[in-house]
Each structure stands twice: as C-alpha cells, then as structure tokens.
Amino acid sequence: MSTRSRLDGPVARLIASLAFLWAFSASAGFAQDYPSRPIRYLVPFGPGSIGDITARTVGQKMSESMGQPVIIDNRPSAGLIVASVAAAKAEPDGYTVLHTGNGAALTVSMFNSLPYDIVKDYAHVSTLGFFDMAVLGAADTRFSSLADALAHVRANPGKLDIGTLNIGSTQYLAVELFKTMAGIRAQTVPYKTSPAALAALRGGEVQLMFESVGAVIGQVRANTVKALAVTSNRRSPLLPGVPTVAESGVVGYHAASWASLVAPARTPVAIVDRLNREVTAALASPDVVKRLLDVGVEARASTPRQAHDLMVSEIGKWREVIERAGIPKQ
C-alpha cells in the first residue's frame, strides 16, 4: 500500500472535520449579527383569519425581543401555494419565514403535483399552536352526548347526517376519520361556510357538525348549539367540561388543526436555533397565550425536529383518509 493510500483516509477525515468546523464557525458568526434588518413573515391566509392573527401575535412578540420588525406578508391562495413557493425560493438567511401547518400536510395529497416539497424544501423551526375542533349538536339535540349519537347511528345505520366545511377541509377529513374509526355509516354534508353549516345544524338538516372551537365558542357559550365532544387527544382549555371523542368511545381518535413556522432549506442551523428560541419565548408570554386562546389557539412550541416529524406524520395520516374517502386530486 502506498503512503498516499495510507494517508487518504485520515487526511480526508481531517479535511472534512476542518470544513465542518469552518462552516459551523461561519454560521455561528453570522448568527451573532442576526437579525440586522426586518424579517419577512409570509402568511398563506388573508388578514383577520386565525392563521393571520396567530402570525401577527407571535411576530409582534418576536419583533420586540429581536429588535427588528417582523413584517407580515399575506399571500392567500388555493393550497397555500403562493406563499409556500415564495418562501422556498427565498435566500436561506433567516430573513424570510413561512407560516404553515396541517393545511400543508393536507395539500400534499390533495394536489397531483406541487412546486415545492413541504418536508425537504424548508428548515422546520417550531410548532406555534394547536386549535381543536368541536363536535356539535343543536341546542335542542336529542343526543345527550356523542356516545348517545354513536349508539343511535349504530342502531340505525345511515340515519345520521354530519355537517362540515367544504370537501378537503380539515373539518371534512376529521369527519371521514371519525366515521372510519367509529365504524359507522353516516352522511358527510359539506357547506361552503361555517355560518351555513351552523344554520343547517340549528334547522335540523344535519344532526351533528364538526367545526373549530374558536369559530363556534360564542355560539356554545350563548347556548345556541351544544358541544358534545372535542376532537383533540386532550380536553380543550376553552371547553374543559367537554369530553374528547376518544373519551366518548372512539378510542385513539385525534384530529386537530395546527400551525408551525419554517424557513427556507439550508438556513444555517444557528439561525434556525435562534428563531426557535424566539418562538418558544414568545409562546411562553402570558399576553400571547391569552391572545391566541381568545381565538381558540393553544400556544405550544416544539423543537425543530418535533416540528419536522409532526409534518411527516400528518402527511401520512391524512393521505390515508383522503384516499379512503375517494377525494379527487386537483
């Protein structure tokens, strides 16, 4: 064996180690000066939406802490595509971030193709919050509980109509998952808007309805509708006396909307870590917790790895539901 061959392994490893240390040092040095200018926060929803309110609330707190403006850039579009593409193509320098979440996980299976990969084209920073859905009955519903409704439809297959938002929405898919896991035959009736679905529930056109807690908490408190269950794996802080669907007899059921923050792929690890610390601190602030809870969002941060793994898990979960429901791709 030649001297060159004997040195190739150790020398190659030394060069690789030095390159890593140089890259790490450069990243850390860059992070020390970050941020030195405003941060653009892309939001794929319109002003006034829950996603927009969440982004503005967290962004404002981050701005106060980081000493630079966090500018909300609303770019609503079907499938969240416009904002997502803009973020994927942005420089990976920490000055562009994207508000995303379960909607992106659904979009993967709702479209034949997308101009971005929500897992690979982004550096996942943290979750931001989770918002539960409620299973509702009319104020004068015959059902005393969700367990009662399940007993009824099992004794009378097909004799239950469940209202929800449009086909492909989180609410619609939550119903499809519910029907499968409960082993029941029931009709899913989609409506274009939440008020239309609520009117159908109160008018007796449907017997149950799935909708986000934040969108209906006012009606529940006014006793115009009755909350029978919540769809998350733990009780909602807005409806602590209402059991979960799992507690009501559908063991293992869990469906919730959630939001997260991502940056373009190849954003330096030191920058991602800094953003994660800022998000975590913002979501621990009492005023942020209260503001988000007012619109039905439970503030909850995570590590970058947890945010990444949640996205991957949700894509797989909802792909099965979408395929089973036979929803055509766009």
Is 268 in contact with 94 (CB distance < 8 Å)? yes
* pLDDT for the residue numbered 9: 56
pLDDT band at 3 (very low <50, low <70, confident <90, very high): very low
Q: What is the pLDDT of residues 148-202, one digit of tens each?
A: 999 999 999 999 999 999 898 999 999 999 999 999 999 999 999 999 999 999 9
Strand partners, 230: 134, 244
For the chain, the average pLDDT equals 91
**E strand residue ranges, the chain:** 39-43, 70-74, 96-101, 122-131, 133-138, 161-165, 187-191, 208-212, 225-230, 257-264, 298-299
Q: Is the pLDDT of residue 86 over 80?
A: yes
- Average pLDDT rounded to a whole number, residues 130-134: 93
Q: Mean pLDDT, to the nearest integer, of 270-290? A: 98
Asked whether the predicted pLDDT for residue 12 surpasses 50, the reply is yes
In a 3-state reduction of DSSP, which class is residue 161?
Answer: strand
- Predicted confidence at residue 4, as pLDDT, reads 46
User: pLDDT digits over 114-123, tens only?
Assistant: 999 999 999 9
Domain ranges across the chain: 38-130+257-325, 133-230
d(CA 174, CA 164): 9
297, 232 contact by CB (below 8 A):
no
Contact 43, 99 (CB under 8 A): yes
User: How many C-beta atoms surround the C-beta of residue 287 within 10 A?
Assistant: 11
| Residue 6 clears pLDDT 80, i.e. is over it | no
Nearest to 182 by CA among 234, 135, 216, 235: 135
Between 327 and 250, the more confident residue is 250
The model's pTM: 0.84
Assign 79 a pLDDT band (cuts: 50, 70, 90): confident
Residue 43, pLDDT score: 97
DSSP string, 102-119: HHHHHHHHHSS--SS-TT
The whole-number pLDDT of residue 329 equals 84
Fold (CATH) for 38-130+257-325? D-Maltodextrin-Binding Protein; domain 2 (3.40.190)
> Average of pLDDT values for 17-26?
51
Model pLDDT, residue 63: 97
- pLDDT-derived band at 328 (thresholds 50, 70, 90) equals confident
- Lowest-confidence segment of 3-12, 237-246, 306-315 by average pLDDT: 3-12
Assigned CATH class of 133-230: alpha beta
**DSSP β-bridge partners for residue 165:** 191
Q: What is the pLDDT of residue 253?
A: 96
> Is 173 strand, coil or helix?
helix
Angle at 211 between CA 206 and CA 215, to 5 degrees: 125
pLDDT in tens, 237-277: 999 999 999 999 999 999 989 999 999 999 999 999 999 99
Mean local confidence (pLDDT), 310-319? 95
pLDDT of residue 280: 98
Q: Give residue-wise pLDDT tens across range 40-60.
A: 999 999 999 899 999 999 999
